[in-house]
Amino acid sequence: MIGLAGATLVACADKSVPPRQLAGADAARGLKLIQAEGCGACHRIPGVKWPRGAVGGPLDDLSTQALIAGRFPNRPDVMIAWLRDAPAMSPDTAMPASGLTQDQARDVAAYLYSLDAD
């Protein structure tokens, strides 16, 4: 898959290191933001017990996906933009704009990229 391109950068490093790193971002804070924002109303997200909505897809496999929402390259900067304001990128999407700041969206992205579908 295309997603392996990023992995070659860390090929010599510990295998537990996720392929998409966000320097200075705090994944634990990201999970708290996900809970506060209510992302679970529309998504199943590991670490979020309730709610577990199904309007959007499950978010357990983003670290290996090549694309975001099936059409945007899965890179941290694109992910952050998507998390902040999906309709700005894709006007007919059912994903609403969030109230996340740039730094908060970085933390959320760090959490989502830390998830391992296994």
Nearest distance in Å: CB 14, ligand HEC: 25
Does position 41 interact with ligand HEC (CB under 6 A)? The reply is yes
In the bound state with ligand HEC, the residue whose beta carbon lies nearer, of 27 and 83, is 83
Residue type, 29: R
* Tokens read off for 102: 């740039």
Q: Number of residues in contact with ligand HEC, rule: CB under 6 A?
A: 25
Backbone conformation region of residue 77, classed left if phi is above 0, alpha if psi is from -120 to 50, else beta: alpha
Nearest distance in Å: CB 80, ligand HEC: 10
Q: Figure out which of the listed residues 43, 63, 106, 115 binds ligand HEC, where binding follows CB under 6 A.
A: 43
Per-residue contact flags (x/-) with ligand HEC for residues 91 to 110, judged by CB under 6 A: --xxxx-x---------x--
Count CB-CB contacts under 10 A for residue 80. 21
